[in-house]
Chains A and B, each alone.
Chain A
């Protein structure tokens, strides 16, 4: 593909998560659930969390929509496991900042594999696709 910017958006890691979404199975008897919908494009994310002593012990995320939404959902599920509720909320905030403002190095390092979504920033109309699962997470944590 000659278009490097496009390659930067659709990095291999993103397409991999999109094809093989992690934690895709819905959790049975979750402690908390969340949902987020973008009526503009019909994309939808549902999330289930198992919590133990304030920590995330199980995550299920089902994303319906474009590859950016699906990859962001899958990556989020992967990094959430074992996080404390406050840590997860802070991560959601860091991710949101990375998408909207670029974020600083510390934040980017803290996000680990999610950094692969950094290229979405060059495609402003697609930022909301990447943020959708995180608002489902916020819904589940609230």
Chain B
């Protein structure tokens, strides 16, 4: 069925029952109740094809990559590099040389902080981040700023949890060396206009790093269109395994960057007293890489391409709209954060009750089979801004359904009653 998306493009309505059947874990029960998995911003579930790709590697061609002359090593190398090419195409990068394997988005950002930033950030320079950054896109820049005597600027948020363009313009200037910004907030769901940010940042000569940990799994992301210089993301949030992540960098920038970790695999020639560096992207991949997980991330990309990222996004837009409507029943009891316009947000709903602590709520929902996350979501500075210690967060993926949202909302109502009227509650 053709449907019109929020962005005015056409998408195909996905058969969610069919999708769910591809994820073995979604049929399990928790405390005798069907699992309602709403913790996708923390990590996604994995389709059978990804799990089988892992098994296939270990059962049939487990071998170290690169330089091997035997059949297994050549097979492993081919599939490993094939996965890199799939990831490159998935984010619209023409070249797989721009794709560096890391453990996760955090390591990708640390790589940039330890190489590019060490070489390029100078005393008095400014690094601009936002108030909604995950610790992984904040703490590395705190350290760079301290070590380089640079200034870290934090863009404030509007009441809806977005960045005001006037604030942005005011913060960006000739001293801005780097803009490091989340594409989608893991705590608020806010989608930042990173394309526009990148244009304006480039106009003043700044470099742009986009934290795509939440966006790449859920939105069509095209690095050429965004024109970002760096994009960091994790495999495990996009149906891939844990332990594999990606740093995309523009080729000319990567070319000028010093290696991060040094040792085997990243060198070309080695003497007793010196070494020369390997070609891109291997120069940034010291030691035996995470071969199985990289190949399985390739399988996850195949799966997402099979669904179509436009369709994934549209499913989540509709589900988020449904959830926002359902949450209206709860607005007297719960504060909901982030933009109300689904075009400006992803499927992440963070909420807080002054009567009911997030951890009590999390435990209550858990016993009904509902998995959500409670806490600071690795965004402590944001929690301070919101003046809460913790929030509860439900986050969707393409396999979640409106009936699961109903189960959540119903359980939230029960929880509010349970904790408000404990003495009279039924046993």
Contact = CB atoms under 8 A, between A and B. Distances in A.
Contacts of A125: 363
Most buried by B among A39, A64, A66: A66
A19 B368 CA distance: 24
B18 interface: no
A71 to B, nearest CB: 11
Interface in A125-142: 125-126, 129
Contacts of A67: 357, 360, 419
Contacts of A68: 359-360
B419 A42 contact: no
Given A12-B422, A65-B389, A5 B363 contact: no
Contact of A126 (B359, B375, B380): B359
Interface string A32-44: 0000000111111
Given A9-B363, A42-B383, A42-B389, A65 B357 contact: yes
A41 B363 contact: no
B359 A10 contact: no
Interface residues of A, number: 26
B426 interface: yes
A100 interface: no
A7 B389 contact: no
Contacts of B358: 41, 66
B359 A129 contact: yes
A66 B363 CA distance: 11
B151 interface: no
Interface in B60-115: none
Contact of A123 (B363, B419, B425): B363
Most buried by B among A1, A44, A123: A1
A107 to B, nearest CB: 25
B376 interface: yes
B389 A1 contact: no
B414 to A, nearest CB: 8
Contacts of B389: 41-44, 64-65
Interface in A10-36: 10, 12, 15-16, 19
A90 interface: no
Given A41-B359, A42-B390, A10 B423 contact: no
A66 B367 contact: no
B427 A7 contact: yes
Contacts of B390: 41-42
A3 interface: yes
B338 to A, nearest CB: 20
B423 A6 contact: no
Given A15-B422, A42-B383, 13 more contacts: A6-B367, A9-B363, A10-B419, A16-B422, A41-B359, A65-B357, A66-B357, A66-B359, A67-B357, A123-B363, A125-B363, A126-B359, A129-B359
5 contacts: A5-B367, A12-B422, A16-B423, A42-B389, A65-B359
Closest 8 pairs between A and B when the two form their complex, measured CB to CB = A42-B389, A15-B422, A66-B357, A66-B359, A3-B367, A6-B367, A66-B360, A67-B360
Interface of A: 1, 3, 5-7, 9-10, 12, 15-16, 19, 39-44, 64-68, 123, 125-126, 129
